[in-house]
Homo-oligomer: A and B are copies of this chain.
Amino acid sequence: MKNTAPTQAPVELLICTKCRVMDAPCEEDVRPGAHLHAALAGAEVPGVTVRAVECLSNCSRGCSVALRGPGRWSYVYGNLAPEQAATLVEGALKYAATPDGLVPWRERPEHFRKNCIARIPPLDAFDQTEETA
């Protein structure tokens, strides 16, 4: 995997290598997420660091991935299959091309549009705002 990371605020694509696909018993030692991670090992994803992680706590809707970076909204996507590496690359590149992680909904890969598990605003989102409570 080439990690060119040209920006000051690099993007990470975290892939859970532990989650099982629900309703698809998996006796293998290697989980679907690990296959997906391996499938990305040769991909060109400039500005994006791909990492294996062990649990994003989205076990009921795995495989799971997260896109995140400093100053950006974090997104968790689920229900991914090992053959969807190209979808992940497309989504990660679009995410990395934004300053804040907010890719317009219609521009996201279809799988991302239909399988967003959650998102969290950037840590500094409220630095300049009033307290709300």
Residues of A participating in the B interface, judged by any CB pair closer than 8 Å:
1, 3, 12, 14, 37, 40-41, 49-53, 55-58, 64, 66, 68-70, 74-76, 116-121, 123, 126, 131-133
Contacts and interface: CB of A to CB of B under 8 A. Distances in A.
Copies in the complex: 2
Given A51-B126, A120-B66, A123-B123, A133 B37 contact: yes
A57 B14 contact: no
A1 B66 CA distance: 32
Contacts of A49: 126, 131, 133
Given A40-B133, A41-B133, A133-B41, A120 B56 contact: yes
A80 to B, nearest CB: 13
